[in-house]
Amino acid sequence: AQKVTQAQTEISVVEKEDVTLDCVYETRDTTYYLFWYKQPPSGELVFLIRRNSFDEQNEISGRYSWNFQKSTSSFNFTITASQVVDSAVYFCALSETDSWGKLQFGAGTQVVVTP
């Protein structure tokens, strides 16, 4: 069963607009970790953010921010004032405590930012 769901297949925005990517996860663990990765056309997965299940504080890092809500099992990610270089596929991933370091990825959301 899919443990990480990214319902948005593709999002298209014009430069400087904000983009919010949705991620819903499923786990029975009380301790788990959530990640966001970016995959530009070159193919390399670039690490963006990591949160553990005990820290629901939402933060902002530059143009990136995230909203972690355990009550709804969601870990949404926002890019503020998008730029063309933000065009990529974004993946949400889950790491559970009983699965060593295995990352379970969602299907990804393609973000297209046009000038």
Partner 1 sequence: ETGVTQSPTHLIKTRGQQVTLRCSSQSGHNTVSWYQQALGQGPQFIFQYYREEENGRGNFPPRFSGLQFPNYSSELNVNALELDDSALYLCASSLGGLAGETQYFGPGTRLLVL
Site for partner 1 contains 27 (CB under 8 A): no
For residue 31, give both structure tokens: 């301790």
Does position 103 interact with partner 1 (CB under 8 A)? The reply is yes
Q: 108 by DSSP, 3-state: which?
A: coil
Among 91, 112, 114, 115, binds partner 1 (CB under 8 A): 91
* One-letter amino acid for residue 25 of the chain: Y
Cβ at position 11, least distance to partner 1 in Å: 16
CB of 103 to partner 1, least distance (A): 6
